[in-house]
Amino acid sequence: MSEQNQNFRAGVKDWIKDNFPSTLKGQNPATVGYAAALEDDHDLWRQRLAEKGWGAPTWPKEYGGAGLGQREERTINDELSNADAFNPIPGIALMGVTMVGPTILDYGTEEQKIRHLIPIARGEVKWCLGLSEPGAGSDLASLRTRAVDDGDHYVVNGSKIWTSGAHQSQWCGAVVRTDPDAKKRNGISFVMLPMDQEGVDPQPIKLISGASAFCETFFNDAIAEKSDLLGPLNEGWSVVKRLLQHERQSQIGARTAGFRSEPMQDLAKRYIGVDGDGKLNDGDLRQRLTKHLIDRQAHSLTLARIAAEAKGKVEVSAAASILKNSATNVSQTRADLTLEIMGDQGLGWEGDTFDAKELETVRAWLYGMASSIAGGSFEVQYNIISKNILGLPETTQQG
């Protein structure tokens, strides 16, 4: 490690020590913001990160970021994790930091960047995305939600499905059909519209895991201003493809700072026990657990190598599809093994005989099943890999 990197890491460590509220140490970043007793400290921490530009550290400073590279961002995440701390802003912004913001950086006008990116980077606004529809999932280009030109704005009618966090969001980025006579991939645009209007109706969808992050969102004469058209009219297919690349990049398995889980090998020893040599009593599980730990380490090292090769530049490419599938395999295997290790204690839904971690485990396992679909299914990623990386001919539906 160079002296410059060592100094940066030391500075990050000291800043976290001086600024992270001790009351939040070890808290789950997904839920701590809703705890009334910790609300003030949580917002104070958000403000401090926002002022530092670390809510979205790789974004330019003029748009609320810190102008850092991927190496520095990884260092920040490492030191947050080492301190049992976390960055709440990506979670607060929902789709803002990971997907909408980077796409605005790619396609937005200067006015759009100033207007939208700074509040996202500061964790002051929540975003959802209107992509899939009941009749347009993996074949997204079959979408039917319409946006009709009405002077200085568009009138939007239709519905979207799986709009995560729509019932909490202030803004939505949506793909809509603006030219019904064009080939289906040519007549699509990407619009941004406020959720707080009469023509937008998000309805939560209850999941088997008990959570309701997903919604079906109905647009009934909703208004999207022409100044909030992202990218050129009728060229939204290119915009949404780029947005989905950013989504896959966010799902490639970078370690989430905060809420560190118990190492798998320690969990297995605690639940299953060890023999006289200190080895797990279950030899078959020991082999499968070892393979999983190797796969996880290989994935982590691949991420580190890519970051090093990028030399600090933030780049997103079709290679994210490879890493997205790899990350999904690692995370789902971990969830499967965790359930197996816990045995009956990993199947609890409620009751005093299960601790909080055990009750969380089966819900996490159920929710994690969606990771091989969210952001594009395994099969969609394989199509992208075959066409854009391996150079194989197009075999999917044209249009």
Which amino acid appears at position 386 of this protein? S
Catalytic residue selected from 111, 247, 262, 315:
247
- Look up 247 and say whether it is catalytic: yes
Q: Cα separation of 228 and 232, whole Å?
A: 11
Q: Which residues form the catalytic set?
A: 247
